Amino acid sequence: MTRKPESTLQPFVALAQAHAHETQPATLYRTLDTVLADTIGHTLFTILRYDDATNESARIYSNMPAAYPTSARKPLSGGDWVDTVLTRGEAFIGKTPDDLRAVFADHELIASLGCESVLNVPVRWKGRTLASLNLLHTRAWYRDDHVPLAQSLAQFALPALLDGS
């Protein structure tokens, strides 16, 4: 069965329309959450903003605020993940609990939520990573072929990030 062009474009249409709402960035971030759940899939979804000056990240959106509250700040520790996502601006895929354990100090909390894989997608502007969209799901959920769509959808967060929202 062939998909109609309208259904293929619907995620992009929904995100473009979300930009027009007064209630920013909440409407945009909730729409990103929904679109990413529908197109790629996730159990946990967060957005982290990065601050070069303080070398910290701040959680600005979470679909599970009880476990992962917004406004939580933490220092960046460096390593391969930071080099991949923040410095080079590439997506990171972790397919197993061992992959998550190697890069996330909170891997036990992640596992307790039923998440065993991750897709981290940077949001970039002028060669800098401003934030990352973080999708977590069951073991081996994420594949390389998810990355181009995830990267395209992630860039819809850019206006809110540039606005400081």
Band of residue 5 on the pLDDT scale cut at 50, 70, 90: low
The pLDDT tens digits of the residues spanning 78-123 come to 789 999 999 999 999 999 999 999 999 899 999 999 999 999 999 9
Give the integer Cα–Cα distance in Å for 25 and 23.
Answer: 6
Q: Kindly tell me the burial class for residue 32, based on how many C-beta atoms sit within 10 Å of its own C-beta (0-12, 13-18, 19 or more).
A: buried
Domains of the chain by start residue, with CATH = 5-162 (3.30.450.40)
Contact call for residues 105 and 149 (beta carbons, < 8 A) = no
Residues 6+ apart with CB under 8 A from 3: none
Please report where in the chains the tokens 């209630």 appear, as a residue.
23
pTM of the model: 0.93
